[in-house]
Structure 1
Amino acid sequence: MADNPVTTGDFVQDYSSLSQEERRNMLIKQLLARYPARDSDPAFPNNPTVPSSSLASSTSESQDAADERIGNIHWCLCQGCLPMPTRGESVCCREIDEVQGCIPEGRKCITEADLFCSQIATEEHVRLMFTVLYLEGRPFVDPDNNRRLRKTAYRTFIAWIYGFLGKRKRRVIPSCAVKIVRQIFPDPNRTYVGLLYSDDYDASEMAFH
């Protein structure tokens, strides 16, 4: 069954007939149309800058430490992690106090917990949670669905470990849990967004994360 038509001014298009790139461009155009061009924005006539000299010393020291974990799993304590592209995502379940507290006694990894197996690593339950959370009727043949399902699984994990956090409050999901979710709901092109904070991308991109 086709989605409801998307209306933009006098333009009406059957949403389901658009490619992913066409949908993306349409949404970006709608978002940008709500804001004035930066050239005419009086809020920040002169963007503040930081002298490069003040960044050099702090950047060189922190960069070396940050890169130590990228591309390897020597930091993994549960033997279930996978290499991650950023330092922030390169975290094992045994390095996060709240997550470690939920690892069953005698087990090595959070992915061995009964609740993780039944609620997060079970495709049928994640699909049900997706429907409950978003109340969307889009068909599961939509190529975007696995991305939505991964997001649902991650939200379920966060709710289990931390409870309700509210908007703009994010927590890192350990690499081992991310690995299992990606195995169940893989991206066909193996392209994953990863952990993003609100200032990691342009405002026009926020609708996609």
Structure 2
Amino acid sequence: MADHEENSETSSVSSLELSCYSSDFEVLNEHDLQPYQFEPELSDAEVEETPDRDDFSESLDRLMSTNWCQCANCAGMGSIRECRCCQEIPEMESLTVSTGVGCITDHPGFRSVCLDHYVLETCYHWYNQQYGRAIQDANERYRYVAYRMLVRWVWKWLGRDIRVTLPACAVARIREQFPSADGQYVGYRDPE
């Protein structure tokens, strides 16, 4: 009986070994070995999504200059993600085209919605009542509410934890109107 078990074990090991060998993996000559020979290949869609060096250098150029700005009002921002012009955002571009202005900050509604401190103060009271987040510094409070009002005006409603990147021109104009005492700003943050 022990011999029978040993033979069946040997035969199963042999068959297991045989099943591992496949012509796809055979290397007849060690010089035929190729790096990454057995790695899966990317699909065409994955190849298109993979950023190349040109995309990286273009992104770095965005951070180092404002050549990407199409409205002539953008300022340099702290991250590549924040270096966007209002003309690169379809929802804002349609607002500027409809009123014949070249920048969202020149739109007649921008001043009333995002820069009028009476409107922002009123919106802040509503926000504070809803969320209970008190912001003591007036300019910080106005900036915070102005960004929220810009999103509400342009995108209407986004939903919980959905964020959009605001254009550098609008952020710069809001910061100019309501500057930070120490010149430090938070910038874009993902939802927590």
Q: Same fold (TM over 0.5)?
A: yes
TM range, smaller chain: 0.5 to 0.7
Q: Which amino acid aligns with 1:152?
A: V
Aligned-partner Cα distance in 2 for 1:63–1:191: 27
Aligned-pair CA distance for 1:60: 8.0
Kept in 1, the 8 Å contact 2:99–2:107? The answer is: no
Matched, 1:108 2:67: no
Structure 2: 5+ residue stretches without partners? 1-49
Could you tell me how far apart the structure 1 residues matched to 2:177 and 2:82 are?
19
Partner of residue 111, structure 2: 117
CA distance in 2, matches of 1:119, 1:89: 21
The alpha carbon displacement at 1:66 in A equals 1.9
Offset at 1:132? 1.4
Find the partner of 1:175 among 165, 168, 171: 168
Which structure has greater helix proportion? 2
What is the alpha-carbon distance in structure 2 between the residues aligned to residue 195 and residue 137 of structure 1?
A: 19
* 1:146 equivalent among 139, 144, 165: 139
Percent of paired sites with the same residue: 27
Aligned to 1:71: 64
Q: Which residue of 2 aligns with 1:130?
A: 124
The residue identity in structure 2 corresponding to 1:168 is D
Partner of 2:76: 83
List aligned pairs for 1:19-98, cutoff 5 A: 61=53, 63-98=56-91
Q: 1:75 to 1:118 in 2, by over 3 A?
A: same
Bigger Rg, which one = 2
AA partner of residue 105 (structure 2): T
Gap regions ≥5 residues in structure 1: 1-57, 199-205
- Aligned structure 1 segments of 4 or more residues deviating by more than 6 angstroms: none
Matched to 1:134, the amino acid is: N
What is the CA-CA distance between 1:137 and the residue it aligns to?
Answer: 9.8
* CA shift for structure 1 position 73: 1.0
TM-score (norm 1): 0.60
Distance 1:101 1:114 in 2: 14
